Each structure stands twice: as C-alpha cells, then as structure tokens.
Amino acid sequence: MRGWMEHKLRRVSTKEQTRRKQRPVTPAKFWRLAASLLILQGVFVATPARAQQKDEDALSYGKLLEAVEACKVPEIEADTDSPVPNTECKISKIEIDESSMVAKVWLANQEKSEPPQKVDLLDQNSELIEQLRYSNIELEAKHTADNSAALGLVANLFLLLLLLAVLTLILRRSSNSSGQALNFGKSRARFQMEAKTGVMFDDVAGIEEAKEELQEVVTFLKQPERFTSIGARIPKGVLLVGPPGTGKTLLAKAIAGEAAVPFFSISGSEFVEMFVGVGASRVRDLFRKAKENAPCLIFIDEIDAVGRQRGAGIGGGNDEREQTLNQLLTEMDGFEGNNGIIIIAATNRPDVLDSALLRPGRFDRQVIVDAPDFQGRHKILDVHARNKRIAPEVSLEAIAKRTPGFTGADLANLLNEAAILTARRRKEAVTMLEINDAIDRVVAGMEGTPLVDSKAKRLIAYHEVGHAIVATMLPHHDPVQKITLIPRGQARGITWFTPDEEQGLITRAQLRARITTALGGRAAEEEVFGEGEVTTGAGGDLQTVTSLARQMVTRFGMSELGPLSLEGQGGEVFLGGGFHSKSEYSEESAAHIDSQVRQIVKHCHQEARQIIRENREFIDQLVEMLIDQETIDGEKVRQLLDEYRGLRGEKLVIANAKRLENEEWI
C-alpha cells in the first residue's frame, strides 16, 4: 500500500513539473500585443475567486497538514500482524486534481450526501506529500479537463476577428471615399419618373397669367404634335421671376404634377463646389440623364447662385462658378441639341443673371410672378382656408382688402398664425379678432407689454396722433386704419394706413403728403412739449423722409433742378461696372441737390406743424381717448374729426356774427 501511494504522489509531482516546464515564452517583439491579449484573456478566462467559507471548521492548507499528520500510521509491533488503528484521524479520503491544483477532502464523520471540502494547493507540496506517504488516508489522483487553454484560444480568436472587422471597416470606408471621389462630378439632382408632388394648377391661385403661360408647357409635353404640326417650337427654357414668396417653386411643383413626365429638380448652389470643374461635370451629367429620359422637365431653383454675370474680376474671380455657367449655356443651346428637355428656373434676382443666359434659345420666356392683387389674394385665401375651421362671420374679402402687398406665402402664414392664436385661446373656430391680431403680428411683430400711464406713454400718444391727424387732413394721403399704443416689435406705438393699390404710379402731391405725414410725429412733439423735449422716436421717420425727398430731386425730377435723373438705383459690379460708383453730377450740382432736399423737407415740416397747431384742441381730446382705450379705429378718428369740424364751424359762424354786430354798433 505504501509503495502504491508513493508511486501516485511521484506521478503527480512529475506531471506538475513537466507542465510548468512546457509553458511557452512570448517573443519580445509581440510584447504589447501579448499584454493586451493577456488582459482580455484574464477577463474571460480567469477563474473567479472562490467564496471563502466562513465556517470555523473549514480546512485551510495548514489545517490540512495538521489533519494529515494526525492520520500518521503507527509503527507495527513485532507480535501483531496488523497496525494499530489511529482513532485521531479525521480524514477518510483525499482527491488531488492535477489541473486545478485543488484537493478535495472527505472527513471521516461526514455523511455521504455532503460535498467534500476544497483546499487550494501550492506549487510545491513536498511536505503534504511526505505526510501522505505515512498516513492511512485513501488517496486518489484525478485529472479534470483544463478549459483555460480552450478559453484562451477562444479569446485570442475573438480578438483576431475583432481586429479583422476593424480593418475591414477601415478598408470599406476608404473604398467609399474613393468611390465618392469618383462620383464627385455626378449630378445631385432629385429624379422622379412621375413627380407626384400633390400640387396641381387648381391648388395655385392668384397668378392666373403665369398659369396660362405654363399650361402651354404641360400641353406640349402631353401632346407635342399639336405644336409641331404647324411648325411651332416650344420654348426651351422658362424663367420664373418674382419676389420671394410669390409661388415660383409652387408653380414648378404644379407643372410636374400636371405633366406626369420624368422630373429633375436641383438647386443652383448644388452645382458649385470648391474644386474647379466639378460644377461643369455635374451639369453634363444632369443633361445626359435628362436626354436618356426625354421628354422631361428640369427645375433649377435659385439659378442666380450659378448664373450670375461673368467678368467681375474683383477679389480673384470664381473660375469654378464661371465654368459651371459656361457648361450650362452650352448644354441649353450649344452644338448638340437637347430636344424634349424643358428647363424651368426660378429666381428673385433677375438683374444679376448673365445676359447670355437670358437670350432667346436658352430662356426664351420670362414669366413674371408678382405679388397678387385684390382678386388674387381673395383666391389665395380661399385655397389656404380649405383645411382650417373659419367662423362664418369671417370675411375673406375684408382680409384681402386689408392685406395689400402680401404674397401667397404671407397670406398662408397669416392664416396659420390666426389658427395658432385660436388654439392658444381655446376657441373652436378662427374669428376676425384672431385675424386682426395675426395681421399685426406678421407686419409689426409680437405684441409687447402695454405701457403704464406715464409721461412716456402720453408722449408716444401725441406722436402717433400727430401722424394720424396730419394724414387725415391731407387729401392725397392713404386713409388711417387704426392707431395703437400696444408695443409690437421695436415700435412703442404704431399708426396703420390702408394703401390704395389700384394706383400703380405715385404723384408729386402723394410724395409730399407722405413726407408731411412722416414728420407729423416730430411736429406734434415740438408743438406740445417744446423742442427741448423732442425724442428719438422719429429716427425711422426721418430716414424715410430723407430718402423720399432725395428721390424726388435726383430720380423723379420733382424739384427746381428740373426733369433730370442724376442718380440710378445702384448698379452691380459686373460687366463694365467699377467697384467705386462714379458720380453722375458735379460738386456744384451736389450742393444744389442737398439744398433742394432740405427745402422740400423744411416746407413739409412747416406744413405739419401748422396742421398740429390748427387742430390742437381735437388732438388733446384724441390723445386722452387713446391713452384710455390704447387702440382707436381709423373710421372712429374720421368720425370724431367730422364732428369736431362741424362744432368748430358753428363756433366760427357765431364769432363772425358777433363781430358783425359790433361793427354795426360802432
């Protein structure tokens, strides 16, 4: 028995030494990689810390040695055939695991169902082996499967796969970058085989003339033989010109929706890049795709970004933009034709476009999309009011009359603001109150906190009433709509007027009336509070006055200098234009111009002060009413003024009668 035990223990020790000698040595050049692998391997492979048994009877390595020593076999006496049993031995069996270096210990007094105790062994267990040689403990050597190597291999493979995935991602991105570089000159136009924009000609209102001209484009795309049979040629390009918000892009969507042909849409800024030649390449690619899908439509929005006039040469001209424009000119009407391709472009700055772009054969037709008139605004309001809950008492005709100069975008925004105010006030339908508030918000800005009754509020009231009274007394000025002391935007008070849009031309009397009315606020401050209490509230009015008076002298020929146009509207620095504008008159003429401007302004200022002095009593009454109510309607102002004039006329008649009686008595 003792020989068998020594053989088993020697075998365990020999295998352990052999396993330690066969550990691989990591090469130095892979040190960093090995360190990272070991760290990650330790995370996945490391044996979790065993829970420490808190039982006092738990065996440690030292206690195991003591227990094994207590199981030492006593010497065999000469007269006996068997050893004397050792009653102090508490261990019945020990199982040593060569792989994990753990000893499982079964106690003599434990039940069979109880698990053995585990004791961690050391690298060198010579003392334990020596004690086990002379003990009667059942010993068993067991070699369990060592999963650490497999887990280490899995961890290393995982790191390798992760490294390959990162490398593949980098290579793919680099290939995409090279692909993008190769596709840099490709057109970025959005293409639709049938442009389902959801917009038809019935959804576009207020610009009937433009719709009629563009209807021909749709008819040609659908029935080209109707024009070609009689030798007619449809325009190659249509340029939509108009202020912002008038519906140019909306018209293009309607054309695409009506025509049901392939549709390309792109912005002018998408052609130009910082690299020379890219824009021209994109133009070529766009027209190549269009020719493959002819007949088709090409819509270029904001064409002024690429179609500006060439040859400025200031600050180092942009050769890329000029090359792009040259390529666009060639594609539209060059050596090769582009039959079946109709180009529609939109801009709000036709004055900066190159003349070669506007000639017949390229953009043959210019469609003016201007701000709508009264009937147009009424139709636009009908379109935008379809999906809104409007109260029955709301009159769209009244709204159209009150909004001269509004574009289609302005009217859409107006109804949207009114709907927002209605929802904020928890009403079920939009009323005229929300419409009026929305108009004030769109024109002048958000409503501010009302002023308290103080000197500043009284001064602003006199200023605004001065504007209103002067405008009402002058026969050539637009009627007053309302006066308000409710701050909006930067203005502390506002006087609204209703301009007459039917008359496109402005007379000399109307210009003088506007200048006089603009000076009415300053005149009221001077007459009521004195020149020492004049405020900065008339700053914007004075800018308007100076501009109108100077235009009367230099552009409209409405002064003593005669019918001369001495200044233009200000030209751009393009073909033949210098960077510094050259004066079109001498220094002597400049002095005369300044003198005439001052004379016009001075005369209008005196007239405004005269009107304020003659109606001072009525102005005081109107100011008190305005301070109390904060808003007075223009119709109310005119009604009160008529009553005041009638009462004043009766007083004058009585005064004249008394004067005549006194003269007769004398």
Angle between helix axes 587-614 and 539-554 (nearest 10 degrees) is 130
User: How far, in Å, CA of 522 to CA of 546, rounded?
Assistant: 14
473: helix, coil or strand?
helix
Catalytic residue among 98, 322, 434, 464: 464
What is the gyration radius of the CA atoms in the chain, in angstroms? 49
Its sign, for the CA torsion 291, 293, 296, 301, is negative
DSSP string, 273-339: -SSTTHHHHHHHHHHHHHHHT-SEEEEEESGGGT-BPS---SSS--HHHHHHHHHHHHHHSSSS--T
Tokens at residue 242, please?
Answer: 């108009």
What are the φ and ψ backbone dihedral angles of 575, each rounded to 5 degrees? -50, 110
CB-CB neighbours of 79 under 10 Å = 5
- Which amino acid is it at 497? F
Name the DSSP letter for residue 102: E
Question: How far separated are the first and last CA of the chain, in Å rounded?
Answer: 170
What are the φ and ψ backbone dihedral angles of 9, each rounded to 5 degrees? -65, -40
The answer to whether residues 71 and 89 touch, using CB atoms and an 8 Å cutoff, is yes
User: How far, in Å, CA of 306 to CA of 290, rounded?
Assistant: 19
464 tagged catalytic: yes
User: How far, in Å, CA of 230 to CA of 228, rounded?
Assistant: 5
500: helix, coil or strand?
coil
The answer to whether residues 196 and 257 touch, using CB atoms and an 8 Å cutoff, is yes
User: Taking the C-alpha atoms of 478, 482, 483 and 486 in order, what is their torsion angle to the nearest 10 degrees?
Assistant: -130
Tokens at residue 454, please?
Answer: 């103080």
463: helix, coil or strand?
helix
Nearest residue to 59 via CA among 84, 90, 30, 34: 90
Catalytic residues: 464
